[in-house]
Amino acid sequence: MEGYNVHANGIRQHILHFPGNGEPLLLVPGITSPAITWGFVAERLSKFYDVHVLDIRGRGLSEAGDLDYSLDAMSDDVVALVQRMGGTVVVLGHSMGARIAIRAARKNSQLFSKLILVDPPVSGPGRRQYPAKWSWYADSIRLAQKGCSVDEMRVFCPTWTDQQIQLRAEWLHTCQYTAIKTAFDGFHTDDIHADLLELTLPIRLIVAGGADVIRAEDIAEFESLAPQTKTYTVQNAGHMIPWDDLEGFLGAVTDDAKGA
């Protein structure tokens, strides 16, 4: 693993690189996941892809402060970064990162060879709310900002391993509060379904079978709007799929890479 910084879309973007022999893959994490927290996943994915994990603006070591934290701004970051990478990149987005990938692909689909969308929130205007509550994010961020132990953070993610919780306790303070609030509110105001209608590139939708983020009717709508979508469900895994079932997640992501 090695880290590097790129000036793209007017800001400093920090990326962790896990070198591999396959095609380039840009991993875009979720709302409160600095790149380092996806290291255990990226390391395994590097057997199939040349993996780059993004610190989304306002998180990790990327630029923060008085910035635009809207979905459009974050997707513009991805477009600019992939242009610097030379294009034809696979983008794997988890949760908010999947919504970013959808919006980025609508803006410039020629830059991407495929989208891997992991349990994207399907909330939006006139739709049911995202099942997670804002207080879960707010309380855990405030705790991390003060400094907290693994045991204190465990209350928010009781099924994770000690190492996973330790990384969250160490890095969650880098998630700027206003950036997270703007993104969370955007789950309910941004319409990614309109974006899906405009996409023709291959899409792989990975669903957490043990979560309530994506239901059967949501899968049907997704596949109706983007018929090129292939859906894979990781049974019994919660929204943070690799944290609950890493092997199931890797199987859902990489069966094409394995030649299956």
* Tens digit of each residue's pLDDT (9 = 90 or more) over 203-245: 999 999 999 999 999 999 999 999 999 999 999 999 999 999 9
**Pairing between strand 2-8 and 11-18?**
antiparallel
User: Tokens 């992501």, residue?
Assistant: 253
**pLDDT for 59:** 98
pLDDT at 192 over 60: yes
- What is the band of 136 on the pLDDT scale with cuts at 50, 70, 90? very high
**pLDDT for 260:** 32
Give yes or no for a contact between 172 and 144, defined as CB atoms under 8 angstroms apart.
yes
Q: Give the DSSP per-residue string, 40-106.
A: HHHHHHTTTSEEEEEE-TTSTTS--SS---SHHHHHHHHHHHHHHHTS-EEEEEETHHHHHHHHHHH
Please give the structure tokens belonging to residue 203.
């899409």
Give yes or no for a contact between 112 and 91, defined as CB atoms under 8 angstroms apart.
yes
pLDDT at 80 over 50: yes
Task: Give the span between the Cα atoms of 177 and 84, in whole angstroms.
Answer: 29
Q: Which of 97, 82, 83 is nearest to 33 (CA)?
A: 97
Please give the structure tokens belonging to residue 160.
């994770």
Structural domains present in the chain:
2-129+188-254 (3.40.50.1820)
pLDDT at 87 over 90: no
Mean local confidence (pLDDT), 56-79: 98
**Model confidence, pTM:** 0.97
pLDDT at 125 over 80: yes
What type of residue is 34? P
- pLDDT exceeding 70 applies to what percent of the chain? 98
Task: Give the span between the Cα atoms of 246 and 260, in whole angstroms.
Answer: 19
Q: CA 59: distance to chain centroid?
A: 12
Task: Give the span between the Cα atoms of 205 and 126, in whole angstroms.
Answer: 22
Please give the structure tokens belonging to residue 177.
């509060």
pLDDT at 127 over 50: yes
Phi, psi of 101 (to 5 degrees): -60, -40
